[in-house]
Chains A and B, each alone.
Chain A
Amino acid sequence: MTASFSTRSNGNGVTITDEEYAKFCEFFYRKTGIQYQDNKKYYVDRRIVERISKTNSESFRDYFTMVRFQVSGEELQLLVNSMTVNETYFFREDYQFDALVTGILPAVVQGKRRGDPIRIWSVPCSSGEEPYSIAINILERWEQADHWDIEIHASDIDTKILAAARAGCFSERSVGRVPPQLLSKYFKSKTAGEYQICDALRDSIDFSLVNVVEPAQTKMFRNIDIIFCRNLLIYFDDVGRREAVEMFYDCLAPGGYICLGHSESMSRMSSIFQPRKFKDTIVYQKPVSEE
């Protein structure tokens, strides 16, 4: 954060100085890994002021003290929720799909015999864009795809969103990054501006309701080779994040990989995975041999 700032105020009479804003951004980065650039000043300001108002805090300083020292971390969580945007679309953060087909999958099959399945788990899968993007990338871009049985599991905590994922109907905005030839190959146009993924892909993905903090539900997933868990853990508190990644550790096969969102870093959660660089992304590998 290098720009020189001015003082901002708002309709509630609360003022956030530029120094306070910079301090907040640094704190928020340390807590979540999310870094706001100067062009997000208005966006961040507005949400802080909203939380100041909802918590009846008298000033930014009062509010910031509460966020930093509240033992439960509840207000920090609410702040994080208000700061994040829940949206997804096909081929989001597609540098990870590049890494998947050019590096991760080739590495995974090195340790496999023909006939062994390759298991991929997308969690949370939201309305399905991620697992379908994984499937399309594998089918289109991994030359070994036909030689292996590939299972794609997709889970979410929200039954409504899972139903939408199974239905596989998407808006124009959602498929905006899908190249035209893939759009015509894997989608059928329903009504104006609505596309449905083809039945073959819909039928090939195993959707399931899973709460990742519920051990009885995650025990279903074992020997997973690759987990995509992107932009979920930023919503958890510190100990929740630790528990989640330790749970993923048990879900993974030895040598399996976990892909996190671009603003998430395993080093802030746990040291039991090894960072591996594939193309333009860093993923995290469970050690090949159990200790």
Chain B
Amino acid sequence: MPLAKSRSSAADVALNVAAQDMTSLLADLAATESGVRRNAVRALGLHPGSAAALCDRLQVETSPSVRAVLFTTLIRLQSPAVAVRLAKLLRSDDAPLRNAAIEALQEMPDAVAPHLQTLLADEDSDVRIFTVNILAALRHRQAPEWLAVVVRGDPHVNVCAAAVDGLAEIGGPETVQDLRDLRGRFAGNAYMEFAIDTAIRRIGAE
């Protein structure tokens, strides 16, 4: 029989899980091997004081797998300060990095909430669109209301369209009037008409 029993403990085991001190872990963030960097990031997740260093690493890290572990660890370490650092990545030209930041911020509702007003008022409409994308999947009771605020006041058609899409997902009947009013602000825009109709239908008010 070709099946060979091998105890899992004998399978190229690396059982050295002894706690490393933070200084050596921080040094490992710059190690050549990506596996060493991933392990360092995970271990630093046990040190809340390392969050700033992990955010710093995110700025220069290019390995997708290490980036992934960095984001996951920062989600665990989430704080308003971490959210502010991640929000800066919304301006990045690196699309995978930017999208990963959006996904991470969606996972930290309480941490990102205090910063949302600032982001929704950003002069860069792309940043506002990404913020709306965050809101549309944010587990926060006020998320529908924040999207409604965007629909009521944002001057940019694409930002409003993103907010309408978000409300189609999470909006309730109380947001329908705002959606109806939006028609007037972008009259004649066929896509907006379609998006608003779809959102209202999905909310179930018509």
Interface residues of A (CB under 8 A from B): 19, 23, 65, 68-71, 73, 117, 119, 135, 138-139, 145-153, 155, 200-201, 203-206, 208, 215-216, 219-223, 238-239, 242-243, 246, 249-250, 270-272, 290-291
Contacts and interface: CB of A to CB of B under 8 A. Distances in A.
Contact of A250 (B5, B7, B35, B64): B35
Nearest to A270: B68
Contacts of A239: 72, 75-76, 107
Nearest to B170: A68
A219 B14 CA distance: 6
Nearest to B110: A71
A246 B69 contact: yes
Given A151-B5, A204-B3, 19 more contacts: A23-B204, A69-B140, A119-B6, A139-B2, A150-B4, A153-B6, A201-B3, A205-B3, A206-B6, A215-B17, A216-B15, A219-B17, A220-B9, A221-B11, A222-B13, A239-B72, A249-B65, A271-B64, A291-B64
A65 B96 CA distance: 31
A220 B15 contact: yes
Nearest to A208: B8
30 contacts: A23-B202, A23-B204, A68-B170, A117-B4, A138-B3, A139-B1, A151-B3, A151-B4, A152-B3, A153-B6, A153-B8, A153-B11, A200-B1, A204-B5, A205-B5, A206-B7, A219-B14, A219-B17, A220-B9, A220-B11, A220-B13, A220-B15, A222-B12, A222-B14, A239-B107, A242-B68, A242-B72, A250-B39, A291-B34, A291-B65
Contacts of A138: 2-3
Nearest to B73: A243
B139 A70 contact: yes
Nearest 4 pairs between A and B by C-beta? A204-B3, A291-B63, A149-B4, A222-B12
Interface of B: 1-9, 11-15, 17, 33-35, 38-39, 42, 62-66, 68-69, 71-72, 75-76, 96, 100, 107, 109-110, 139-141, 143, 170, 202, 204
Contacts of B109: 71
Contacts of A216: 15, 17
Contact of B68 (A68, A69, A201, A271): A271
A19 B2 CA distance: 55
Given A239-B107, A246-B38, A149 B72 contact: no
A290 B35 CA distance: 8
Contacts of A69: 139-141, 143
B5 A65 contact: no
B68 A272 contact: yes
Contacts of B65: 246, 249, 272, 291
Contacts of B1: 139, 200, 204
Given A65-B141, A151-B4, A219-B14, A243 B68 contact: no
A197 B157 CA distance: 65
Given A69-B141, A71-B109, A19 B3 contact: no
B38 A219 contact: no
Contacts of B33: 290
Contacts of A139: 1-3
A287 to B, nearest CB: 8
A182 B141 CA distance: 56
Nearest to B68: A272
A238 B11 contact: no
